[in-house]
Amino acid sequence: MTEPDIFYILGNKVRRDLLSHLTCTECYFSFLSNKVSVSSTAVSKHLKIMEREGIIQSFEKEGPFVGPTRKYYQIVHSATYVATLTPNLFWHETLQLEKEPVLENLTINLAELELEPNNLLAMVKNFIDADQELRKLLQALKAIESYRDMMMKKIKETYLKEIGDMTQLAILHYVLIYGEATVNDLSDRLNLKEREVVRKVEELNRFVPLIIKDERIKIDAEKLEQKIKGVGDGGEG
């Protein structure tokens, strides 16, 4: 299969929003259609484009209740994309992620690069040296993103198995990806009223410690460490 035109795919906000929802879980068509502010016809068009490019695939399965089978979509592509665009540089590279990341120490050394090399040959050498350091950085990025992908998969599987609340998981997923979220962000993302978001955040806080202040939500890293070590309030779950 040819490499998907990822810049074309990500250049459209609706497609980015659809992919964001699909990273949380596989979704059926009407669910996705309700999560974006365009017509169902437009959603269908965007999904067909991404399926054609090999980013997602569709399949049919029965829903949780009695009724007809539904058409679901899921992401089947795993890669990190890096690009640079300046008046002097344009390049991009695809890093195919691994199911079992290689975690090793990598040393990036920028101290020996000269800011003002005094002749053309020295400039060429410094560019090559910088490129070698960049390759090590890309190797580390590939390992980190492979690890984060693996860990998020385990988080989702464990949360659904042990707690089973998809809305709580969607909030946790969003907060982990973006570092923090507002009640308004989550209300728009989940298509819920703000009071419902607050209630779900409070329920999530029973299992994963959160800092909830001024309608902003993020992981409470200090309390998380304490719970892992069994110090203080262990919480529920």
Dist CA 178 CA 162 (whole Å): 24
Q: Residues 42, 192: contact at Cβ < 8 Å? A: no
Helices (H), the chain: 6-10, 13-24, 29-35, 40-52, 120-162, 166-178, 183-190, 194-205, 221-229
In-domain check, residue 86: no
Same domain, 12 and 66: yes
**Residues of the domain holding 186:** 165-229
Structure tokens at 227: 């719970």
Higher pLDDT, 231 or 70: 70
In-domain check, residue 210: yes
pLDDT of residue 59: 92
Same domain, 175 and 133: no
CA distances from 14 to 71, 111, 213 (A): 19, 43, 30
Same domain, 17 and 63: yes
Percent of the chain with pLDDT over 90: 79
How many structural domains does the chain have? 3
| Total Cβ atoms within 10 A of residue 148 | 15
Higher pLDDT, 80 or 70: 80
Look at residues 96, 110, 77 and name the one whose alpha carbon lies nearest to residue 139.
Answer: 96
CA distances from 188 to 17, 37, 83, 176, 197 (A): 11, 10, 30, 17, 10
pLDDT of residue 64: 59
Dist CA 31 CA 73 (whole Å): 11
CATH code of 71's domain: 1.10.10.10
Q: Write out the DSSP string of 74-106.
A: EE---EEEEEEE-SS-EEEEEEE--SS------
pLDDT of residue 35: 82
Cα–Cα–Cα angle for 229, 231, 235, nearest 5°?
95
**What is the overall mean pLDDT for the chain?**
92
In-domain check, residue 154: no
Query: Tell me: the pLDDT tens digits for 134-148?
Result: 999 999 999 999 999
Instruction: Give the mean pLDDT of 2-31.
Output: 91
Region class of 179: left (phi > 0), else alpha (psi between -120 and 50), else beta: left
pTM of the model: 0.88
In-domain check, residue 198: yes
In-domain check, residue 137: yes
Query: Tell me: the pLDDT tens digits for 54-64?
Result: 999 999 887 65
In-domain check, residue 112: yes
In-domain check, residue 121: yes
In-domain check, residue 90: no
pLDDT of residue 219: 97
Please give the order of strands across the beta sheet that includes 69-75: 27-28, 69-75, 56-62
Query: Tell me: the pLDDT tens digits for 167-218?
Result: 999 999 999 999 999 999 999 888 889 999 999 999 999 999 999 999 899 9
